[in-house]
A and B are shown apart, each in its own frame.
Chain A
Amino acid sequence: MRTALILSVLLGATAAGAAPHLDPGTPPAATLRAAQEENRTRPASVGATLDSEAEQHLRDSFDAADIAHRGTLTRAEAQAGGFGWIANHFDAIDTQHTGRVSFDDVRRYLRLPGATPATK
Chain B
Amino acid sequence: MRPIQAVLRGSRVVAALAVLAAAAACGGAGGDAGNQYVDSNLYSMAATAALSTPNETTAVTHHSVTLGGTAIAYTATAGHLTALAATQAAEASIFYVAYTADGAPAATRPVTFFFNGGPGSATVWLHLGSFAPKRLETGVPATTQTVPFPYVDNSESLIDTSDLVFVDAVGTGLSEAVAPNTNQTYWSVDADAAVLRDFVTRWLAVSGRTASPLFLYGESYGTVRVPVITRLLETAGTRVNGVVEQSSVLDYNSNCSIESGAPTVNCAGFLPSYAAVGSYYDLATAASPDLDAFLGVVSSYADSTYAPDAATWLADGTLPAADHVAALVAFTGLPAAVWDRQFDVDYDTFRHNLIADTTLGVYDGRVSAPVGSALDADDDPSNTFVEPGFEAAIKTVLPGELGYTNPSTYVITSDAINTWNFSHGGRSLPDVVPDLSAAISLDPLLKILFLGGQHDLITPFHQTELDLERLASGAPVATYFHPGGHMTYLDDGSRPLMKAELAAFYAAATGGQ
Contacts and interface: CB of A to CB of B under 8 A. Distances in A.
Contacts of B486: 23
A33 B255 CA distance: 15
B434 A45 contact: yes
Contacts of B125: 21
Interface string A50-94: 110111111001000000000000000001111111011000000
B157 interface: no
Interface in A1-57: 1-3, 5, 9, 12-13, 18-28, 31-40, 42, 44-46, 50-51, 53-57
A24 B459 contact: yes
A36 to B, nearest CB: 4
Given A27-B417, A33-B262, A39-B264, 11 more contacts: A20-B383, A24-B221, A32-B261, A37-B262, A40-B264, A44-B254, A46-B470, A53-B425, A57-B434, A85-B237, A87-B237
A12 to B, nearest CB: 8
A110 interface: yes
A57 B431 CA distance: 12
Given A5-B348, A50-B437, A53-B425, A35 B235 contact: no
Interface residues of B, number: 69
B470 A35 contact: no
Contacts of B118: 22-25
A50 B265 contact: no
B234 A85 contact: yes
Contact of B425 (A34, A40, A56, A87): A56
A26 B256 CA distance: 11
A88 B441 contact: no
A2 B435 contact: no
A102 B83 CA distance: 30
Interface in B416-430: 417-420, 422, 425-429
Contact of A19 (B249, B252, B380, B413): B413
Contacts of A61: 232, 235
A1 to B, nearest CB: 7
Please name the 9 residue pairs, one residue from A and one from B, whose CB atoms are nearest each other, closest first.
A84-B237, A36-B262, A53-B434, A54-B437, A2-B260, A34-B428, A54-B438, A23-B220, A35-B429
A61 B380 CA distance: 41
A82 B87 CA distance: 11
B349 to A, nearest CB: 9
Interface in B374-431: 378-380, 383-384, 387, 391, 412-413, 415, 417-420, 422, 425-429, 431
Interface string B195-226: 00000000000000000000000011100100
Contact of B236 (A37, A42, A56, A84): A84
Given A23-B221, A24-B258, A39-B265, A50 B235 contact: no
A44 B428 CA distance: 13
Interface residues of A, number: 52
Contacts of B117: 23-24
A20 B120 CA distance: 11
26 contacts: A1-B260, A1-B348, A2-B257, A9-B379, A13-B378, A21-B387, A22-B417, A24-B118, A24-B255, A25-B221, A31-B429, A33-B262, A35-B259, A35-B427, A39-B265, A44-B467, A45-B431, A45-B433, A45-B434, A50-B471, A54-B434, A56-B425, A61-B232, A79-B237, A84-B238, A85-B236
A50 B432 CA distance: 10
Given A19-B415, A23-B220, A50 B458 contact: no
A2 B457 CA distance: 14
Contacts of B412: 18, 21
Interface string B229-261: 001101111100000000001011111011111
Contacts of B236: 82-85
A117 to B, nearest CB: 19
B176 interface: no
A83 B441 contact: no
Interface centre among A40, A51, A53, A87 (most CB of B within 10 A): A53
A26 B428 contact: no
A58 B438 contact: yes
A110 to B, nearest CB: 5
A103 B116 CA distance: 34
A27 B420 contact: yes
Contact of A18 (B265, B391, B438): B391
A81 B252 CA distance: 30
Contact of A26 (B116, B235, B260): B260
B443 to A, nearest CB: 8
B415 A44 contact: no
B91 interface: no
B237 A88 contact: yes
